[in-house]
């Protein structure tokens, strides 16, 4: 069975979707955000639909290039480009944290160049969240304060009565269930008789980040059931790959790997495994907002956390064993220093496992596919 034409996965092919339309038709709000360290559970408890900003389908950065030099990440420029073209006009709120310097710049650019355009008649509240680049006790206290302030700002901006502990606990339950379902699907992907492709797994993640999670959970439960009842896909002539690095939000890239002979058995990506690990455990008498903050801060990190590289390396090593990986593909979008540093270190450190590793640079939208495909094919043949 192929999931390719599944209604839920189709949500990954566009930015705006029918679920958002339906949600907003009831007078409810959507909050777009960059990126991993925004407390989604808090937004959910505020009755917002958290939408993770992506640039799926955009093939150029012409408008984005007016405001950002080409020595910046082409993913971020492509998201700005889409916003300037109007694709994000549906947002009712906007949040940015300093994940990386490129995406952090979106706070000013959306404010100055997107939300002030004549066609946007509503006021879009904007929120900025600062977080430390290292994981320390003091850093946690700082982040905790930022998130507490964000809660108050959300209540004021959206005229909410208090975002209560009950609402936060409900959101935690919904998000824990969501991660458990994603892990369930992941198990069926890393299996030696897998039930879905890496491209399908990516689409599930992107769709999941574009809707309310209570709706997503119903859809994921349906997909889990479908996959359980389906036959394994044929990967007999494919090499099992672990895909690592910069954000991937279009299946053209993963399909290029698959058409070259790879089975993407697992990944370490934003729209991937990084997103499904570590549940929230609220301790007795603990403020649920603190529990949300704790998970976000101490979770399996993005490379923006400078002193946590070894934990990420350990995850890769475990995943290589768990998913029976035959080769590791490290990729980064040009000018992405965070993944550039991590990938360079991984390429040396993984030598001890004697596993083939390919480390490539690319643009967000790959126009020169032939050259890339040749390199990938050569790598897969070498395995």
Nearer to ligand SF4, 71 or 284 (CB): 71
Least distance (Å) between residue 195 CB and ligand SF4: 29
Nearer to ligand SF4, 196 or 247 (CB): 247
Long-range contact pairs involving 313-319 (C-beta distance under 8 Å, separation at least 24)? 313/345, 313/346, 313/349, 315/268, 315/273, 316/242, 316/244, 316/268, 316/346, 316/350, 317/350, 317/353, 319/190, 319/242, 319/266, 319/268, 319/273
Give the pair of three-digit tokens for residue 284.
């007795």
Least distance (Å) between residue 21 CB and ligand SF4: 28
Inter-residue contact 316 to 346 (CB < 8 Å):
yes
Query: Rounded to an integer, what distance in angstroms lies between the CA atom of residue 208 and that of residue 50?
Result: 10
End-to-end alpha-carbon separation of the chain, Å? 28
Query: Rounded to an integer, what distance in angstroms lies between the CA atom of residue 37 and that of residue 242?
Result: 24
Nearer to ligand SF4, 8 or 33 (CB): 33
Among 15, 336, 357, 372, binds ligand SF4 (CB under 6 A): 336
When asked if residue 247 is in the footprint of ligand SF4 (CB under 6 A), the reply is: yes
Inter-residue contact 30 to 24 (CB < 8 Å):
yes
Find, among 143, 89, 107, 85, the residue nearest to 34 by Cα: 107
Span near ligand SF4 by CB under 6 A; candidates 55-63, 179-187, 229-237, 333-341: 333-341
Among 30, 78, 82, 100, binds ligand SF4 (CB under 6 A): 100
Nearer to ligand SF4, 248 or 276 (CB): 248
Inter-residue contact 283 to 257 (CB < 8 Å):
no
Span near ligand SF4 by CB under 6 A; candidates 37-45, 100-108, 127-135, 305-313: 100-108
How do beta strands 327-333 and 29-34 pair? unpaired
Inter-residue contact 216 to 242 (CB < 8 Å):
no
Nearer to ligand SF4, 201 or 248 (CB): 248
Query: Rounded to an integer, what distance in angstroms lies between the CA atom of residue 298 and that of residue 139?
Result: 11
Least distance (Å) between residue 360 CB and ligand SF4: 14
When asked if residue 131 is in the footprint of ligand SF4 (CB under 6 A), the reply is: no
Query: Rounded to an integer, what distance in angstroms lies between the CA atom of residue 196 and that of residue 200?
Result: 6
Nearer to ligand SF4, 42 or 100 (CB): 100
Build a one-symbol-per-residue string for 59-98: x at contacts with ligand SF4 by CB under 6 A, - elsewhere.
--------------x-xx----------------------
Among 213, 274, 339, 362, binds ligand SF4 (CB under 6 A): 339
Span near ligand SF4 by CB under 6 A; candidates 99-107, 175-183, 200-208, 252-260: 99-107
What residue ranges bind ligand SF4 (CB under 6 A)?
A: 73, 75-76, 100, 102-103, 246-247, 333, 336, 338-339
């Amino acid at each position: 069975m192929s999931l390719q034409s599944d209604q839920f996965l189709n949500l990954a092919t566009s930015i705006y979707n029918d679920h958002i339309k339906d949600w907003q038709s009831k007078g409810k709000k959507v909050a777009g955000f960059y990126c991993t360290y925004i407390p989604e559970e808090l937004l959910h408890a505020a009755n917002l639909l958290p939408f993770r900003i992506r640039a799926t389908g955009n093939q150029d950065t012409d408008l984005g290039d007016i405001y950002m030099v080409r020595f910046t990440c082409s993913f971020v420029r492509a998201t700005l480009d889409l916003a300037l073209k109007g694709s994000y006009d549906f947002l009712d709120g906007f949040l940015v944290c300093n994940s990386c310097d490129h995406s952090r710049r979106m706070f000013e650019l959306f404010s100055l160049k997107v939300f002030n355009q004549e066609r946007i008649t509503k006021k879009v509240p904007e929120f900025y969240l600062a977080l430390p680049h290292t994981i320390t006790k003091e850093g946690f206290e700082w982040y905790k304060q930022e998130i507490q302030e964000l809660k108050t700002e959300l209540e004021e901006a959206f005229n909410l009565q208090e975002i209560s502990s009950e609402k936060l606990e409900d959101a935690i339950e919904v998000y824990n269930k969501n991660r458990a379902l994603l892990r369930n699907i992941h198990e069926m992907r890393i299996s030696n008789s897998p039930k879905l492709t890496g491209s399908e797994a990516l689409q599930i993640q992107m769709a999941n980040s574009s809707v309310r999670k209570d709706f997503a959970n119903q859809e994921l439960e349906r997909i889990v059931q479908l996959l359980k009842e389906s036959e394994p896909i044929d990967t007999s002539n494919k090499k099992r790959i672990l895909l690592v690095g910069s954000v991937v939000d279009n299946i053209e890239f993963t399909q290029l790997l698959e058409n070259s002979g790879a089975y993407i058995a697992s990944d370490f990506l934003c729209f991937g495994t990084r997103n499904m690990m570590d549940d929230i455990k609220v301790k007795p008498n603990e403020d649920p907002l603190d529990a949300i903050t704790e998970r976000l801060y101490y979770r399996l990190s993005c490379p923006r956390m400078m002193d946590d590289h070894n934990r990420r390396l350990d995850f890769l090593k475990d995943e290589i064993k768990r998913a029976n990986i035959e080769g590791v593909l490290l990729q980064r979008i040009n000018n992405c220093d965070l993944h550039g540093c991590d990938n360079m270190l991984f390429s040396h450190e993984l030598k001890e496992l004697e596993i083939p590793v390919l480390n490539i640079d690319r643009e967000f939208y790959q126009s020169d596919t032939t050259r890339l495909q040749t390199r990938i094919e050569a790598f897969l043949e070498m395995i």
